[in-house]
Structure 1
Amino acid sequence: LIEMILKENGVGVKQLNPFVKQLVRARLSFANVALLTNCLEDLKHLDKATRVAFIMPLKNLDSKKQRFIESLAINDNVNLQIFEKEVAIVGDSEKVVDYAKLIDFLSQEMTKMHVETIVTKKLTAKEAKEFLELMSLTPKSSTYLGAASGQQLRILASFQFKHLLVLCGMEKEIAQARKILEEMEEKIEDPVEKTIFWYTCKHTQPDELADVLQKVYPQLQEVSMQDDKPGIDPKDKVQREQAKTHADAFIIDPKTSSMIMIVEKKSLEVLKRLIAKLDVPKKMVKIEVLLFEKKTKQHNQIGLASLETGTTVTNPQNGTTFKDGILNFFLSSSQRRNIPAFSFNYQFLLSNQDIQINSAPSVTTMNAVPAVFSLTEEISVAVEEEDAKSKKTKTRYERANFGTTLKITPNVNISEEDQTGYITLETDISFDTINSNEDNKPDVSKKHIENQVRIQDGQTLIIGGLRQKDFSKHTGKIPFLGDIPGIGKLFGNIKSSNNETEMFVFITPRILYDPINDLKKIQKEELQKRPGDVPEFIQQLESARKNLKQKQFEKSMQLLLQ
């Protein structure tokens, strides 16, 4: 039904193979024609792609020759309409000229004229046509191709099939032309021919290199398949052939770190240039890590240190022993007026800040290879399990690792313009804090950070904010007296403790362009940073101590006046 509808609208259907059909023009159309003429000389001055219509007389063209010309015209996208005494050709000017010459040649009354099609292997039909025409123009070869006999060989190159050549002429001329093409193609190296190339990898693993080439090579081969195959194969068949070919194109020899390539000759040079860019030394990265721990301890104790009873106090002058404690003094009915024995302890706010380096590891790794820092402690953890037979609970101990783990993956990117290096860091940091327990069942506090940043070579990445805070407060006071505003703190005892711990991670990556010399240079720079006992360092240390004392005094006075 579809074919009938298309036929009524001037569109024909041609069966190329069992799976593919082609739509062709079934009616002659003069639409978009730039020139309508019956003179062949008018077409020589036009562009090759200009659409023209040419009408020429028709003589001595039997049905067999007509079918042959029509079959070629359909494949070359040329409209050909044969009337009783004339023929109309519509198409590109270059194709119209070739078909006009072919029809004129076939219309001539020549004895022993033959028409033969030749499929070239290494040359395209257009190249073969130009070569044969060049041979016919030389004085030596003109007789060889039959030009001297007045019946010159006619050559038509198919535009649809790039390797199909049509020869029209005497049998001897066609045989001579075929021989010339065979001799020429023997001298030409076939670009589609397979070749074996052995390559020893210098810096890259052969399997990694083969994976990349297997993705590139099909694209190169697909272009050659489109140029060489005139027909269209089923899609699934093409995919199966490609999969089979590409799987065997690159063979790995792990013993010698080599790769054997069985590829087309015309693709070999492209693959060699690609290998030269891929098989280069991997950049190495030196990663320096500093783990800082800032601990802040604040302990407050204000008031009488001993409100409880139970301490016996002796007068050092006469050896008299008093009753125990200040509470016994107030509750005793003794008439003496001696001051009761007690220990008066009044402590101001004490603040202690301690910044220490927990660890300063450094490691050198390759580009895109993760580096792992593990600073853990292995402890025993009690695990209770129920016996299936006795239904009793048993305790067993397992070893577990807790601590700090850093996993850093660097990816190096170097600008080709100014050779500036940038590093993309993928960090995965885990912190485990253990709170001791008498039952060997410690409470574990876990913190986890994942991030991805891009920094310049030598810059430092700072990760902070991992804070843990512990606060406790205890109050003791004399009833009624401890509640008096202002002086109530003299009759009580307040103890408070505030401990804060904050972690900072400093990560500094450096690209090692020359692993040996760059590593020595970095080590020398690090040794020069050591302060030692130089005067500037001693002066800064004394200044820091004075600032710490001043800060503690200011906080103590604030607490006393509250």
Structure 2
Amino acid sequence: MVMGRLLFRFLFLLGVIPSLLFAKSENLSFNFQDVPVRTVLQIIAEHQQLNLVVSDTVTGNLTLKLDNVPWYQALDLVLEIRGLGQKRQGNVLLIATLEELAAQQQSELQHQQEQERLRPLHSRHYAINYAKAREVASLLQGSGGNRLLSERGVVSVDERTNTLLVRDSEATLAELEALIVVLDVPVRQVVIESRMVTVRDNVDSELGIRWGIYGENGSGLLSGSIEGNDSLGSGVTPSIGDRLNVNMPAVSPNASSFAFQVAKLGDELILDLELSALEAEDKGEIIASPRLTTSNQYTAFIEQGEEIPYEESTSSGATSVAFKKAVLSLTVTPRITSDNKVVLDLLVTQDTRGRESSTGEVGINTQRISTQVLANDGETVVLGGIFQKQQLKTVTKVPVLGDIPYAGWLFRNTRDTSIKTELLIFVTPKIMFDSLPVAR
């Protein structure tokens, strides 16, 4: 009699409750009192139309009251309460204890490793076009858990032809080949244009700046002068002078000038900056205009100067000639961002000859600027702050009379001059765009 009542309640639970609980397609509600956990799991699986496999170790009852909760949250609560885990394979839901699932996963891993050891090995060679084969080989070999080759896989490098020689299973070789296709692409390149300018003290009173823009958009034309607009209308890019609409040049009519691009506004507008440097009056000098092309994240380096010889003693007591550099150098490492801007790591050094020690060794005066800046494509970055001060003493005298002891100063004129110069570096990165697929 008792068994009949329990059976009736169980059938009622399976047949009636589910139809009443699933008011929403993704949420469910129920109120269970001391119900077998396997029954609750079956209800959730039927709600999601999943095939259910439950381990024999899943036993016990539970009391649960949930109101309008997502089915996956209800499932997680049931599993957490009973210390169970799940494994989904397609439309089949497997429920077992955590220990059983861990043991099963370990067994599958061992089986896969055993199959891998039994698979035959094959050899392939891959000609690397753009990357260095040695670097790709290091990536494939990895270290620790980062190894991309199998346990039996080996890779060799032919430096002469920049070729990889790989021996591994067919499945691993297929994965490596797909990876090599992704890695072996040309790196984007950046043109680094720079100007190194020295200016003297008080040069700001004779250094003029003229700003201007020009552009073309549809039928609208824009330039800094009437001549510039006429040139744009005829399809000709206006000259630098015609693009300038705010004119503040140097006052001297004999001033020489140089111009460069400081910023790029959109795709068609260009902001021009012209510096009128009075080189004729020895107030400024362009000492170098290097132009370098380098790959993304690769360092470009240029230097100009001299190597100073000096004698040094060796451990045996003999002397040998060594050299020290006194150079002006620029080191640039560009990094292209995803939005086509350029991060520049810049290092500028200006080394000059210093004093000689009593042993004849030459000292080097060093000045450095090291910084990182973010620039738009075609935008000019200005670096300054490297100063150099020179003290000059000029003596003018009357021959013979100027050399008379004690009274010679009456026939001499002494002039002390202090010259202060500053080094300005103008750096303009320009991204090279081409039709080749490139790494970003």
Query: What TM-score do the two structures reach when normalised by structure 1?
Result: 0.38
Greater fraction helix: 1
Greater fraction strand: 2
Relative contact order: is structure 1 or structure 2 higher (C-alpha 8 Å, sep ≥ 6)? 2
